[in-house]
Each structure stands twice: as structure tokens, then as C-alpha cells.
Structure 1
Amino acid sequence: MASTTSGDILPSGGRIFLTVPDVFFIPEFVFGGLVWILVASTRVVPDNPLGWVMFVSVFCFVFTTLWFFIFLCGANQSSVWPILDTVYHFVAVVFYLSAAVDLAYVTIVLSSLAVTAEGLKIYRLDIAAVVMSYVATLLYFLHAIFSAIRWKRS
């Protein structure tokens, strides 16, 4: 029976670029940032659902950045970090899934405005944002699943 310590479970420093759940940090940055940029580059109409999408994308981008630097600096060596990692990523999945569904619904409802050149441009940006938000949801989900597996091993 092999014994594991907290240092063996959670990587720190450059090792985060080599472990399965933590390798998702960079794609989460990229696709979450793209959602943020694509939604911000259009008119935020209607305010309420797209405001939620902006909140989710900014919140997850900032907290994933913070999480990344905590892991990079090695401040994640306490025994509570595996469960915190799992909980954060599951919360991010729920947030991003709700934002992606809201964004897809708004895009479908506003598709009738795609008759003008400006409307078509916004419609295409919204479609790209929907795709990126579902990809970000998938990445956060994979990270959450692998983090849960890592937590159960610890």
C-alpha cells in the first residue's frame, strides 16, 4: 500500500503544467477570456441575461487566475486544498452552464435582428460567444471531475 502525502497530491510550481487537472488552467483562461471579449464587443441587450454572462466570465477569469497563481506559488499544500479545488471548479461549471444557456437563448431570440449588416455581425459574435462558453463549461467540468478524483485519492 503506497502512502501519499499532500505534496504528492497537489502539484506546485512548474509541475502544474504537467498534471492532468491543472493542465486545464490555460485553456480555461483562453476560452473564458474569449467569452468575456465576445460578449463585451456587442451590445449588452437585454441587460439581465447578458449581465449574468459578463459576471460569470469575469468572475471565473479572475478566480481562475488567482487559483493558478496559488498553485504556481505552492501555497496549496494544506490538506484542505483538494476539496477547495473541486468545489471551486464545480461552482464554475454551474455558473458557466447557466451563462451558456442564457447566452444561447438570447442569441436565438435576437436572431431576427440579423437582417442588417450590423445585426449579422452581432449575431455572429454571439454565436461565437455561445460556442466558447460551452467549451469553457466543458473545460471547467473536466477540471472539476479530475480534481474530484484527485481529492478522493488524497
Structure 2
Amino acid sequence: MASTTSGDVLPTGSRIFTTIPDIFFIPEFVFGGLVWILVASTTIQDSNPQGWVMFVSVFCFVGTTLWFFIFLCGANQSSIWPSLDVGFHFLAVVFYLSASVILAFITIAYSNIATIPDFLKIYRLYISAVVMSYLATLLYFLHTIFSAIRWKRS
């Protein structure tokens, strides 16, 4: 009876740049980093829940970086890695979706005072952050779906 191992399923080294879902690592870096930069460049009010958005963007950026280097170095060859891959990216989807909703709510709240020139720049930054946040959510979602398919094959 032949058994499959995760070594046949998870790529290592430069193969992560050519396999789905691992090709999503680079866009996740870009869009997650942009969310982090755009939110960090605005002013935060005391009652503003941007702390959660910053936590999510930094957590996912650092987590994706670690995950990327684990895959790049080939340390992902034990049998638990396919399920950990699905779990991490699912957690990232849930976190980013909640942060995106909060960020969209704050952006809508800022639309009322966007006619004041000082707040117009912040409003535009928030709009950009919302778009990037939803794109990051979509990328993490796609990564989760394709990781789950890969996990079921292993």
C-alpha cells in the first residue's frame, strides 16, 4: 500500500514562486504592507479602533514573512505543515475581514468631515487602505482555498 507524504505536496526553495497557492505570498506582502503603511500614515483619534487594523496588518505581514521563509528554506516537510498552512491563512482571512469592515466603517465616518481640507487627505488614505485591505483579504482567502485543496490531496 503506497502512502503519500507531505514532501510530495509542499514546495520548497524556488518552487514556491511557481506553485499555486504559494505564488500568493508576494501579493500578500505587497497589499498587507500597503495597509500597514496607509493606516500608519494617518492620525489616530482616541476613540478610533485603528489599533486592531494595525495589529492585523502587522501580524499578518510578520506571519506571512515567517511562513515564506519556512517554505523557502524547506523546513515545511513534516506531515503537519499542510494543515498549519490552511489554519494560518484561514486565521489571516478572518482577521483581515474583520479589520476591513472596521476600516470601512471608519472611512464612512470620515466622509462626513472630508470637506475640510485637513481631513480630505486622511479620508483618501483611508479609502486606499480599505481597497488594499479587501484585496489582501481576497488574496488570503484564495490562498486558504488552494491550501485546503492541497491539504486534501496530501
TM over 0.5: yes
CA pair 134-46 structure 1, distance change in 2 beyond 3 A = farther
Which deviations, in whole Å up to 9, do the C-alpha atoms of 1:55-93 show, x marking residues without a partner? 000000000000000000000000000000000000000
Give the ranges of 4+ consecutive aligned residues of structure 1 lying more than 3 Å apart after TM superposition.
Answer: 1-4
- Root mean square deviation, CA, Å: 1.5
Q: Which residue of 2 aligns with 1:37?
A: 37
Superposition map of 1:1-154 within 5 A: 4-154=4-154
Where do 5+ consecutive residues of structure 1 fail to align?
none
For 1:20, what is the secondary structure of its paired residue?
A: coil
TM-score by length of 1: 0.96
User: Match of 1:117, as an amino acid?
Assistant: P
User: Match of 2:136, as an amino acid?
Assistant: A
CA pair 47-153 structure 1, distance change in 2 beyond 3 A = farther
- Contact persistence 2:42–2:125 (CA under 8 A): yes
User: Match of 1:124, as an amino acid?
Assistant: R
TM-score by length of 2: 0.96
Identity of aligned residues (%): 77
1:23 and 1:79 map into 2 onto residues whose CA distance is 21
1:135 and 1:92 map into 2 onto residues whose CA distance is 13
1:52 and 1:137 map into 2 onto residues whose CA distance is 15
Where do 5+ consecutive residues of structure 2 fail to align?
none
1:132 and 1:46 map into 2 onto residues whose CA distance is 24
